[in-house]
Amino acid sequence: MANAAAAPQDGLDQTAADTGLDSVVVRFAGDSGDGMQLTGGQFTLSTALAGNDLATFPDFPAEIRAPQGTLFGVSAFQINFGSRAIHTAGDAPDVLVAMNPAALKTNLAALKPGGLVIADTGAFTKRNLDKAKYDSNPLEDGSLAKFDLLAFDISEKTIEAVKPFGLGNKDALRSKNMWTLGLALWMFDRPREPIHDWLKSKFAKAPDIADANIAALDAGHAYGETAELSGPQGNVFRQLHVDPVESEPGLYRTVTGAEAVSLGLVAGAQLAELPMFFGGYPITPASAILHHLARLKEFGVTTFQAEDEIAAVCAAIGASYAGQLGVTSSSGPGIALKTEAIGLGIMTELPLVIVNSQRGGPSTGLPTKTEQSDLYQAVYGRNGDAPMPVIAARSPSDAFEVAIEACRIAVEYMTPVMLLTDGYIANAAEPWKVPDPADFAPFPAKFLDTPNAKDADGGDTFLPYQRDEKGARPWVKPGTPGLLHRIGGIEKHETTGNIDYSPDNHQRMTDLRKAKVENIAVPDQQVALGEKTGTLAVVGWGSTYGPIHQAVRRSIAKGCSVSHIHVRHIWPLPGNLGELLEGFDHVLVPEMNTGQFKTVLRDQFLVDATPLTKTSGQPFQIAELEAAIAKYFDGIEGNEGGQVLANDQQLPSVEASNP
């Protein structure tokens, strides 16, 4: 993850160093219509501009507008920012902003003891308390005694602030999130200007609305600045400054995984010198990639919203056949539908990039929650022996490089490639050191336009399945004179490509397809943190990078002989990985599934990999990984690793999912 920094600022009451904090976790929670994702997103931007490294975790319901005030309609956005490198969205929040009783109820369990609750008393009405199943008002009945509480009527203050703009009460209350954001910006000493600019451009066509929102934002900020805010325990709340983090020089921006994948695909197509064809079908959480690419037509990108997932991948295969870089994207259920066509891509040996933004499964599962449970599907999930390269992004910014790598493998080896991200990576944002496209080696696609073989009489002839040194067949654009040929899903002769069901030929073709994928050049596996040998290797893949890295860092600091290995190339695996794992007494594999990568490692290397599994739809917490690692160092036999039980520190609380 990239780091970010900014100039220190003067006039602060208190710094994070004074309070012993090097990072702060803030969670905004409200009704799904309250604009919490927006508030969180803008707070993220301001935080990045203030020079803090950060990670975010948007957590929202599957329903677009769940009934107002209900427990299952709560939408939350968590951000962890600090003066050190941040790798996760943080475990327990230090500050919880609760816009209504339901938001308080579903998120309070996650708050650190002694943490700060900011609540809008205007929303704690009898009706809302009933909907959240509160018998009495928690702001008044003393049940929040172990927390710091700042409760005031945000609704009323917002209405006052926007009064000059003549909005009705209902419209005025829409600016409540901006008022709250203003207060948060003051508390953490974030700049307001970027939000002003953003509001002006967002509401360029309705300057009144922009002004009203700016007024609400400024009012929230001013309230923090001028009011003597005092919690029930008498602690005067004062402005908190978190120092900027030291980081590599360069140009920075924030990026979400969906943006990074889109940009990486555009970069990959440019490096391959190909126009890109993207076939997509709306599905959570993958649609954002389609949305981003639809706005990049000047980069030679054609986006096609197909009638279904199958048509989306088939159109991409058609475009690859015609000489473009075909790309499709979906999440687990959609990938299942695309499976037969992916087999066609493997059989016809055409380039194709398939992005899977994984979500909780099986079936419809948990559309807005995160999981890593499509690894078997990616590696093994097709009829017949259908080998396909699989690579996984570990963070939003990493997704850029991984997307380029997927394009490279697809074009150089004439094969479909699956790129795995997940709901967490797709939605989360982090600072990103803007890469220079010139730093990436081009891999221009080669199209055959002359015969590639000699016939028995020494004359020129064309063999559509004659392979190069990489095992790849030639790519011929339809329209090329003299190289007419037919391809299809039926087994074909190993050079001519003509239909051939003969036993020897099928044996050879199966072997050739397998060898081609297995021999893909994959960089050697590096150790992300720690020594190259030791007691314990914690092996992860995908979005578990952040929590594993922090947990291993803390464990090393405690003196444990533990290393973090994070695998990008899931299939084929790096050639040195087996040997690397042999250098450790134990191998622990934390995954947000029931142990899928563990199976692959055991199968490929006969290594005694222990699974550490979690399928609550929520990312791992650092603390739970740290605890699992500690078990290897307490000397108690048979107490290593194992399953992580869902606990009340996870997000959201159980009540949110089961009201």
Residue list 581-620, contact with another protein (CB under 8 A): none
Task: Give the shortest CB-343-to-another protein separation in angstroms.
Answer: 8
Q: What is the edge-to-edge ordering of all strands in the sheet holding 74-82? A: 53-59, 74-82, 23-31, 95-98, 116-120, 148-152
- Among 17, 206, 453, 490, the residue binding another protein under the rule CB under 8 A is 490
Residue 202 interacts with another protein (CB under 8 A)?
no
Give dist(CA 40, CA 28) in Å, integer: 7
Q: Which of 425, 340, 373 is nearest to 599 (CA)?
A: 373
Asked if 315 is part of the footprint of another protein (rule: CB under 8 A), the reply reads yes
Amino acid at the residue 129 = L
Separation between Cα atoms, residue 6 and residue 247, nearest integer Å: 10
Backbone angles phi, psi at 652, to 5 degrees: -80, -175
Of residues 181, 238, 190, 244, the one with CA closest to residue 214: 181
Task: Tell me: does residue 489 bind another protein (CB under 8 A).
Answer: yes
Of these, 341, 404, 411, 419, which contacts another protein (CB under 8 A)?
A: 341
In the list 72, 77, 186, 321, the residue contacting another protein (rule: CB under 8 A) is 321
Give the shortest CB-641-to-another protein separation in angstroms. Answer: 39
Nearer to another protein (CB atom), residue 437 or residue 583? 437
As a whole number of angstroms, the distance between CA 92 and CA 398 comes to: 25
Q: Rule CB under 8 A: which of 54-83 touch another protein?
A: none
Nearer to another protein, 480 or 604 (CB): 480
Of 127-135, 172-180, 485-493, 559-567, which segment contacts another protein by CB under 8 A?
Answer: 485-493
**Residue (286 or 341) nearer to another protein, CB:** 341
Nearer to another protein, 321 or 541 (CB): 321
Determine the Cα–Cα distance for residues 528 and 650; give it in Å rounded to an integer.
Answer: 26
Site for another protein in 351-410 (CB under 8 A): none
Spacing of C-alpha 183 from chain mean position:
28
Q: Does 499 bind another protein (CB under 8 A)?
A: yes
What is d(CA 318, CA 324) in angstroms, rounded to the nearest whole number? Answer: 9
* Cα 462 from chain centroid (whole Å): 45
Stretch that binds another protein, among 164-172, 421-429, 436-444, 593-601 (CB under 8 A): 436-444
What does each C-alpha distance from 584 to 124, 134, 436, 516, 579 come to in angstroms?
Answer: 55, 52, 37, 31, 10
Contact 500, 492 (CB under 8 A): yes
Asked if residue 437 binds another protein (CB under 8 A), the reply is yes
Cα(236)–Cα(591) distance, integer angstroms: 42
- Residue 38 as a binder of another protein (CB under 8 A): the answer is no
Region of 142-150, 212-220, 480-488, 576-584 interacting with another protein (CB under 8 A): 480-488
Query: Does residue 134 belong to the site contacting another protein (CB under 8 A)?
Result: no
DSSP H helices in 395-449: 398-413, 423-427
What is the C-alpha to C-alpha distance for residues 171 and 166, in angstroms, rounded to an integer? 10
Q: Is 326 in the site for another protein (CB under 8 A)?
A: yes
How far is it, in rounded angstroms, from Cα 216 to Cα 212? 6
| 638 phi-psi bin (left φ>0, alpha ψ -120 to 50, beta other) | left
Q: Identify which of 445, 394, 95 has the alpha carbon closest to the alpha carbon of residue 272.
A: 445
* CA 548 vs CA 442, 529, 538, 572: distances in Å: 33, 10, 7, 23
Q: Which is nearer to another protein, 227 or 490 (CB)?
A: 490
Position 453 contacts another protein (CB under 8 A): no
Q: 447: helix, coil or strand? A: strand
Which of the residues 531 through 560 are near another protein (CB under 8 A)?
none
> Least distance (Å) from another protein to the CB of residue 259?
9
- Out of 250, 362, 444, 575, point to the residue binding another protein (CB under 8 A): 250
Integer-rounded Cα radius of gyration of the chain? 27
Task: For residues 48 and 405, give the distance between their C-alpha atoms in angstroms, rounded to a whole number.
Answer: 27
User: Residue 438 — φ and ψ, nearest 5°?
Assistant: -70, -15
- According to DSSP, residue 305 is labeled E
Cα-Cα-Cα-Cα dihedral of 521, 525, 528, 532, to 10°?
-160
Residues whose CB falls within 8 Å of the CB of residue 639, separated by 6 or more in sequence, listed in order:
631
Residues 459-478, one symbol each (x = binds another protein by CB under 8 A, - = not), give: ------------------xx
Residue 33 or 300: the one with the smaller Cβ distance to another protein is: 300
Residue 383 near residue 377 (C-beta atoms within 8 A) = no
DSSP secondary structure letter of residue 511: H
**Of 47-55, 207-215, 377-385, 512-520, which segment contacts another protein by CB under 8 A?**
47-55
Of residues 118 and 266, the one with the C-beta less far from another protein: 266
Which residue in the set 167, 487, 512, 623 belongs to the binding site for another protein (CB under 8 A)?
A: 487
Contact between 310 and another protein by CB under 8 A: the answer reads yes
Cβ 48 to another protein shortest distance, Å: 7
Window of 228-236, 321-329, 386-394, 637-645 that interacts with another protein by CB under 8 A: 321-329
Tell me which of 30, 35, 40, 51 binds another protein, using CB under 8 A. Answer: 51
By beta-carbon proximity to another protein, the closer residue of 302 and 535 is 302
One of 23, 32, 100, 247 touching another protein (CB under 8 A): 247
In the set 10, 135, 228, 436, which binds another protein (CB under 8 A)? 436
Distances (CA, A) of 244 to 172, 295, 358, 359, 659: 35, 34, 33, 34, 40
Size of the site for another protein (CB under 8 A): 81
Angle at 538 between CA 533 and CA 543, to 5 degrees: 135
Considering only residues 257-296, where is the footprint of another protein by CB under 8 A? Answer: 263, 266-267, 270, 275, 277, 279, 296
Looking at 73, 82, 257, 323, which residue binds another protein (CB under 8 A)? Answer: 323
Among 188, 252, 413, 424, binds another protein (CB under 8 A): 252
Question: What is the C-alpha to C-alpha distance for residues 121 and 155, in angstroms, rounded to an integer?
Answer: 8
Name which of residues 616 to 655 contact another protein (CB under 8 A). none
Shortest Å distance, C-beta 658 to another protein? 36
Find the binder of another protein among 109, 149, 306, 448 (CB under 8 A): 306
Q: Which of 486, 526, 558, 646 is in the footprint of another protein by CB under 8 A?
A: 486
Report in angstroms how near the CB of residue 179 gets to another protein at its nearest: 22
The pair of structure tokens assigned to 379 is 């590696």
x/- letters, 173..192, toward another protein (CB under 8 A): ------------------x-
* Binds another protein by CB under 8 A, chosen from 121, 461, 480, 657: 480
> Minimum distance between the CB of residue 432 and another protein, rounded to whole angstroms?
9
Ramachandran angles phi, psi of 643, nearest 5° = -85, 145
Selected from 145, 204, 251, 636, the binder of another protein by CB under 8 A is 251
Question: Of 96 and 407, which CB lies nearer to another protein in the complex structure?
Answer: 407
Asked if 519 is part of the footprint of another protein (rule: CB under 8 A), the reply reads no
Instruction: Give the span between the Cα atoms of 459 and 448, in whole angstroms.
Output: 17
If the CB atoms of residues 310 and 379 are measured against another protein, the closer one turns out to be 310
